[in-house]
Copies of this chain bind each other. A is one copy, B any other.
Amino acid sequence: MLKYSRQRESIQNFLANRYDHPTAETVYQNIREEFPNISLGTVYRNLNLLAEIGEIQKISTGAGPDRFDGNMHPHYHFICNHCGCVMDLSVSGLEHINILASQNFGGAVEGHVAYFYGKCPTCAEDKISLPHTQKTS
């Protein structure tokens, strides 16, 4: 019932080789090099589809457009308050937090997402307030 499409494969490949959590627009601009006629609608449709079937991850930062991550290994995300960049973050010792959250809760906790905020390494080092990154492009 899920039919192969070159566009979807290309999108998934693209994400698998990026570590900067691009937006749909960024994916679109890049995939356009291979498929000049692809439409933004198709990019959104495939991004949502891939996220639903667990091949990629959708990241809602709470500011600006959603971002997408092709890395499905368990990890967290850090969002810089200063420059807006999104970085991967390995945090060990959080394997049990669904169980912690289940305590005194009548429902079923099946998963969680967590975002860490602060200053990224580059911004923490800078004395001057110059955003070193605004958006991926």
Residues of A participating in the B interface, judged by any CB pair closer than 8 Å: 58, 60-62, 66, 76, 78, 80-81, 89-94, 97-98, 100-101, 103-124
Verify B81–A91 contact, CB threshold 8 A.
no
Residues of chain B with a CB closer than 8 A to A78's CB: 101, 105, 107, 109
Verify A113–B110 contact, CB threshold 8 A.
no
Residues of chain B with a CB closer than 8 A to A105's CB: 78, 89, 121
Q: How far is the CB of A105 from chain B (nearest CB, A)?
A: 6
Docked CA distance A80–B10 (Å): 32
Docked CA distance A78–B124 (Å): 32
Q: How far is the CB of A36 from chain B (nearest CB, A)?
A: 31
> Smallest CB-CB separation from A85: which chain B residue?
B107
Verify A118–B124 contact, CB threshold 8 A.
no
Residues of chain B with a CB closer than 8 A to A110's CB: 81, 117-119
Cross-interface CB contact of A115 among B112, B116, B122, B123, cutoff 8 Å: B112
Verify B113–A115 contact, CB threshold 8 A.
yes
Verify A107–B91 contact, CB threshold 8 A.
no
> Smallest CB-CB separation from A63: which chain B residue?
B60
Verify B124–A101 contact, CB threshold 8 A.
no
18 contacts between A and B (CB under 8 A): A58-B62, A60-B62, A78-B109, A80-B107, A94-B97, A94-B100, A98-B116, A101-B116, A106-B124, A107-B120, A107-B121, A107-B124, A109-B118, A110-B118, A111-B117, A112-B116, A112-B117, A113-B117
